[in-house]
Structures are given as structure tokens and as C-alpha cells.
Amino acid sequence: MIITRHDSPVGQLTLVSNGSQLTGLYVDGQRYFPDLTMAEKGADLPLFNDVTRWLDDYFAGKKPSVQYLPLLLQGTAFRLKVWELLRTIPYGETMTYGELTRRLNETEGMKTCARAVGNAVGRNPISIIIPCHRVVGTDGSLTGYAGGLDIKCKLLALEQI
């Protein structure tokens, strides 16, 4: 595991890679932050240059594409499906936990509840790039964010939501 740090308008970010793919992007202090004590520092990894360029563009108000970023999501089959749905939420838009649940029920034939979906959203290992911050409560309220509601507010404001 290789890591680097990146300054951003929402604080220090930790980028994690297996050497060729991004496996994590964490805001300092967020819940579910992995133990990285054995990780190797690798700021010069070409992937990290691409990710930091993406982040800089995003925080500059641009709408960078994630298609060229090699992401590796690791989790249960259920979480992977939730995280894939998160990737479909367009920049500048939100989706409710209930809508995510309905989509899973319809497209995957799964019988699940919003609470289980919320748990999976909260454990998204590649925050910001996989936009879990765009998920809101049924009434549009800002509920839960592993990085903290203040950071969720900043990210949504950046996207003019």
C-alpha cells in the first residue's frame, strides 16, 4: 500500500494506492479511516499526480471526468453495487437514500432498506471522486457524511447545490 497527502479546501486528504490503482481517498479525521501505519509514502507515483490534478480541477469548480482514473473498489458485493450507483449521480445534483434503495431494488432485484444503503454509502473508500456527499435525506436534509457534515456542506456548495 502506497500513500500520499494532498492539501485541499476541505483539509488534508490521504490518497491510497496499490501502485497502479487508487484504492482510497480519505479526509483527515473521517470515520472508517484505515490503519495506514505500514503504508509506504509515494508522492511521486504517476497515479497520484493524476488524482491530485483531478482534485485540483474539482476544487477549482471544474467538472473533471473520472473515466481516466483507475479506481479499485474493494468491499462486499452489496457495497460495490451501492458505490457503483453513487458514480451515476451527476455533478451538481443529489439523490436520496430512498432513491438509491429503490434503484437497487429495481435494477438488482435486491430487497434492502435505506439504512443498509446508508451504511454502505458511509463506507465509501474513495470519497469525493465517488460522490457520496451527493446523497441526502428523503426531505433533502443533509444527513451523515463520514468526513463530517461541515465538509459535506462545503462540497455541495462547491457544486452549487
Q: Is 113 a catalytic residue?
A: no
Write down the catalytic residue from 120, 128, 132, 155. 132
Strands 95-96 and 22-27: unpaired
Sheet holding 11-17, edge to edge: 22-27, 11-17, 2-8, 40-41
How far is 112 from 95, CA to CA, in rounded Å?
A: 17
Phi-psi map region of 23: left, alpha, beta (phi>0 left; psi -120 to 50 alpha): alpha
**Active-site amino acid positions:** 132
